[in-house]
Amino acid sequence: MTARTWTTRADNRAARLARAAQALGPRLRGKRVPSEAITELLEAVIEPHDRVCLEGNNQKQADFLAQALVRLDPQRVHDLHMVQSVLALPEHLDLFELGIASRLDFSFSGPQGARLAKLVSERRIQIGAIHTYLELFARYFVDLTPQVALVAAHAADAEGNLYTGPNTEDTPAIVEATAFSGGIVIAQVNELLDDGSALPRIDVPAGWVSFVVKAPRPNVIEPLFTRDPAQISEIQVLMAMMAIKGIYAEYGVQRLNHGIGFDTAAIELLLPTYGESLGLKGRICRHWALNPHPALIPAIEAGWVESIHSFGSELGMEDYIRARSDVFFTGPDGSLRSNRAFCQAAGHYACDLFIGSTLQMDLDGNSSTATLGRITGFGGAPNMGADARGRRHASPAWLQAGREARQGRSGAAGTPRGQKLVVQMVETFREHMQPAFVERLDAWQLAEQSGMALPPIMIYGDDVSHVLTEQGIANLLLCRSDEEREQAIRGVAGYTAVGLARDERMVENLRDRGVIRRPQDLGIDPRQATRNLLAARSMRDLVRASGGLYEPPKRFRNW
């Protein structure tokens, strides 16, 4: 037996709290820190080499704390290991340029992807790994536990209880991992209530929070999931018709996830029109794991949607959500309770279908949004766009996909098992006439350049069930060899180089077998695919459909 101490984490927390108390003196009232003392607080509680989770969500950002962090003295605070979902703000990378942080584990870097790649190539940042969200949360409880968490909430009461409002997002996962492992939790809030005032609801108990600070400005939130119907093209309408008739109806998909993008917005807007005309109401799309997409308003109003659980919220949807509490998860205060961890679990285990888009797909069906000169990560797509092999409950859609995938197979691969529907929906050419189908993903070269252990593939080909383009649907479940899969993909790749190199005879054979289905094979007349089919054709239509409850952010108020 050693004489080691077993409470270093608790002792260390006590020492950090004592340093904060000393640095701030009477300016620290309970857990409340005045905003002008934030630098002193951070320098008192953060130690070099700490693992720090700076709440960078898909939507809300702990921006005040990010700005404070970049102002620290790198002589005192350096070599931080940042762990966070999203790199969204310039400050998230400034930290590395300034020498305050040196190591990074994350999920998604969207707009900062190019700058991130540059910093990596200059060896000013060391990437641990890119994760899917739930995977990163999981590691918070295993080997990436933060010593310090810097989070954002809407309000705090005098005791330090937190009210997140509709954008709860990652906060509960981050705070739980940090608070119960001897860490320090600092929350920036938009409102700090006086003694005795009660929050509309408590999302995080005060006992889990070390300090609260009122930010001078409300935290940044991005309306990431708002798509203006005016920008939906007729090709997208056609693809949405194929998705509804050729996949959703074919498998009877009741529970599903939609992400960001115009392709899926088109599907949402066709449910009450085209979907209704096919008699599908109540037969598909009843339960959703998705954010409160404005594009789903017409379908909700038409009674298509029984329930929605959300990762985060969406700006402008607050009053609508409050008035439609039968559909959304809401608190006694009427506002949404989102939760990215549970919604990702729902997307993984409780949904029969994931539909997403990509920038590139190769002939094995592997797809990636990673392109040269950018390191972006994949957010939730790998978690939801993978077969959930731990799933054991059956549904007709899952069983049918499983049957198709296992037909004619023997041994372990032939054991009856359900399978998730994973649909990649892409136009054959992206903007600037970039082909979506390629012989080789940029991901391979990117892996070599950045020294990654594996190419950054978003969704692996053997998890994809269907590829949907304006040319038709390729059902990869039915392919029985690598060659068939390749020709099925070429067969829907249109006039791209990959599509033009198809084996005509084999493609026609696949079409005869129903592996490839063109619009006409589905009984869809492309001439019908007009914008008139959309249940809303503008932002104004969406507002009208909501009975005036939806209030789009200013930049979308284009009428």
User: Per CB under 8 A, which of residues 248..267 are in contact with its own copies?
Assistant: 254-255
Distance CA 446, CA 454 (A): 10
Out of 391, 466, 490, 517, which residue is the one contacting its own copies (CB under 8 A)?
391
Is 75 or 481 the residue whose CB approaches its own copies more closely? 481
Out of 113, 165, 382, 472, which residue is the one contacting its own copies (CB under 8 A)?
382
8 Å CB contact between 129 and 105: yes
Residue 34 CA: distances (Å) to CA of 30, 31, 91, 185, 216: 11, 10, 21, 16, 10
Is 236 or 366 the residue whose CB approaches its own copies more closely? 366
451 lies in the site for its own copies, by CB under 8 A: no
Is 278 or 399 the residue whose CB approaches its own copies more closely? 399
342 lies in the site for its own copies, by CB under 8 A: yes
For residue 23, what is the enclosing H or E element? helix 8-24
CB of 321 to its own copies, least distance (A): 10
294 lies in the site for its own copies, by CB under 8 A: no
In SS3 terms, 407-460 reads as CCCCHHHHCCCCCCEEEEECCCECHHHCECECCCCHHHHHHHHHCCCCCCCCEC
CB of 338 to its own copies, least distance (A): 10
Is 4 or 555 the residue whose CB approaches its own copies more closely? 4
Out of 17, 24, 114, 138, which residue is the one contacting its own copies (CB under 8 A)?
138
179 lies in the site for its own copies, by CB under 8 A: yes
413 lies in the site for its own copies, by CB under 8 A: yes
Our CA angle for 230, 234, 239, nearest 5°, is 115
Write the interaction track for its own copies spanning residues 454-483; mark x where CB under 8 A is met and - where it is not: xxxx--xxxx-----------------xx-
Is 202 or 235 the residue whose CB approaches its own copies more closely? 202
CB of 554 to its own copies, least distance (A): 27
DSSP state of 194: P
Query: Phi/psi at 276 (nearest 5 deg)?
Result: -60, -45
3-32 residues near its own copies, rule: CB under 8 A: 4-10
Distance CA 294, CA 311 (A): 15
For residue 162, what is the enclosing H or E element? strand 162-163
317 lies in the site for its own copies, by CB under 8 A: no
Write the interaction track for its own copies spanning residues 188-227; mark x where CB under 8 A is met and - where it is not: -------------xxx-xxx--------------------
**CB contact set of 404 (below 8 Å; sequence gap of 6+):** 419, 475, 477, 478
8 Å CB contact between 334 and 314: no
Out of 48, 216, 282, 303, which residue is the one contacting its own copies (CB under 8 A)?
303
80-119 residues near its own copies, rule: CB under 8 A: 105
282 lies in the site for its own copies, by CB under 8 A: no
Distance CA 350, CA 345 (A): 8
